[in-house]
Amino acid sequence: MKFNSMNQTHIEHFRAMVASDRFSAGESVLDLHARDQSSHPPHRPEAVIWPISPSEVAEILKYANANMIPITGWGSGSSLEGNPIPLKGGLVLDFSEMNRILAIREEDFQADVEPGLVYQDLNEKLKHTGLFFPPDPGARATLGGMIANNASGTRTIYYGSTKDYVLKLSVALANGEIIELGTRASKTSSGYDLIRLFVGSEGTLGVVVGATLRLAGLPAEYSAAIANFPSIAMAGRAVFEIIRAGLNPAALELLGPECVELMNRDAGLDLDILPTIFMEFHGSTTSQLEEILQIAEEICGDQGCRSFQPGLGRAERDRIFQARHDLGEMIIRNHPQERIKAMDVAVPISGYSELISAMDREIEGTDLTTYCLSHAGNGNVHLNLLCQKGDHKLWDMIEEIADRLVVKTLELGGTATGEHGIGLGKRKYMVAEHGSSLQWMQQIKSVFDPNGILNPGKIFPS
């Protein structure tokens, strides 16, 4: 597609659509919207606009579509694959002003929200109701961004990902039409599931302007434990056995010793510097959880566990899991002069140990700084590979390692991206992963966005 650069007429037209303080083409504003938290090069938009209503979004899209101006949605910029980088310039829609909770219906376990609402803020508001929104990617992500990316996180093994909690969507299409998808009923078999089509589409089919979310009840009781092992491979086997035993962990995180050492230093923890599993269980009674932890300890012991610390209190549990959530930021903060390749692959749980072993072989004998962390309960592994900024030779080696590991992942029946999305970084794997079905994805894109103005350059290979 050939897009138009924004001329003064376009700028004045967009400026007139909103209040004067909700449109900017200032240098600092453009720079702030030029990159996310990934290692991908920045691309500046030509202007940024802050809508406050679905009708404003629709009007903006209608004009942009008629004038072939690219549109990119923006939540908080916490993406890790370049998903919101405005690759073709144009206009960024920043949804930080559309951040309200429109309704909470406790009796239905539902909430109506705007796309710019940060999910932690929703959960803070829900505290007194005994309900919460379970998907938890860690960063201060907006719900619109989470929907666009089908975000997940530490609790996915038990609660599922964002797609499992979206009941209804209001979506503005490229031509300015607003459509309503889904139902507030807890189940339906009425027609095509367009909700699942838009969740995870990264703003390439339409722009989410409102959502009804399903909520879950806060667990009556919980317990957590830490187990450490002589090797990642042994810990990986323990993960498999815990799942096979049907213990239904709410979280099952496996971290390499380098991650544990960093968390000890930055978060004031005092953990043994070994491959470590953090596990959490939710239940209705403490006696039920005590029995589960006893079984988990036996399983870990059979797999060579060095130590098992069960029954962590709430304060200690919160401290450890907060450190786990902050780990990505810790890595960035402790390596300011290094470029980071954050891998995100996922395999069937039976292939988890083999993938971990392949990663070990790839980095063995190299001078790379690496951090291995994973949502082990669903086979989702993040291998962070670091090198000095400007070291193009070493970065090329990192890219080659990442390519080989993605190929291995696909051979194991996995996916090139477990939760970070396609964005810019994973486009090159789409043919290998999806084959001829990719053509049908492209046809769907052309139906909803025939001029290709919505987040161009994402998902599909260039």
Domain of residue 367 covers 335-420
CA 394 centroid distance within chain: 27
Nearest to 333 by CA among 343, 318, 323: 323
**Domain assignment of residue 16, yes or no:** no
Write down the pLDDT at residue 358: 94
Residues 189 and 255 in one domain: no
Give the pLDDT score at 62: 98
Instruction: Check which CATH number belongs to the domain holding 106 and give it.
Output: 3.30.465.10
Residue whose C-alpha is closest to residue 252's, from 274, 225, 275: 225
> What is the pLDDT at residue 320?
83
Per the structure, the count of domains in the chain is 3
Asked if residue 315 belongs to a domain, the reply is yes
One domain, residues 306 and 206: no
Distances (CA, A) of 176 to 60, 69, 113, 246, 289: 7, 13, 21, 48, 52
137 three-state secondary structure: coil
Are 36 and 455 a contacting pair, CB within 8 Å? Answer: no
Q: Which residues of 31-42 are buried (b: 16+ CB within 10 A; e: fewer)?
A: ebbbbbbbbbee
Phi, psi (rounded to 5 degrees) for 42: -75, 150
The predicted pLDDT at position 367 comes to 86
Asked if residue 355 is part of any domain, the answer here is: yes
The reported pTM is 0.94
Same domain, 259 and 323: yes
Q: Are 73 and 57 in contact (CB under 8 A)?
A: no
pLDDT tens, N- to C-terminus, the chain (462 residues): 799 999 999 999 999 999 999 999 999 999 999 999 998 999 999 999 999 999 999 999 999 999 999 999 999 999 999 999 999 999 999 999 999 999 999 999 999 999 999 999 999 999 999 999 999 987 899 999 999 999 998 899 999 999 999 999 999 999 999 999 999 999 999 999 999 999 999 999 999 999 999 999 998 888 899 999 999 889 989 998 999 999 999 999 999 999 999 999 999 989 999 999 999 999 888 889 999 999 999 999 999 999 999 877 778 778 888 888 899 899 999 999 999 999 999 999 889 989 999 999 999 989 899 999 999 989 999 999 999 999 999 999 999 999 999 999 999 999 999 999 999 999 999 999 999 999 999 999 999 999 999 999 999 998
pLDDT, position 53? 98
Q: Are 167 and 215 in contact (CB under 8 A)?
A: no
Domain-embedded: residue 235: yes
Q: Report helix, strand or coil for 181.
A: strand
Does 362 share its domain with 327? no
pLDDT at 322: 85
Would you say residue 51 lies in a domain?
no
Residues 191 and 207 in one domain: yes
Q: What Rg value do the Cα atoms of the chain yield, rounded?
A: 22
Residue 208 host element (H or E) = strand 207-214
**For residue 254, what is the domain's CATH number?**
3.30.70.2190
| 135: DSSP letter | -
DSSP letter at 218 equals P
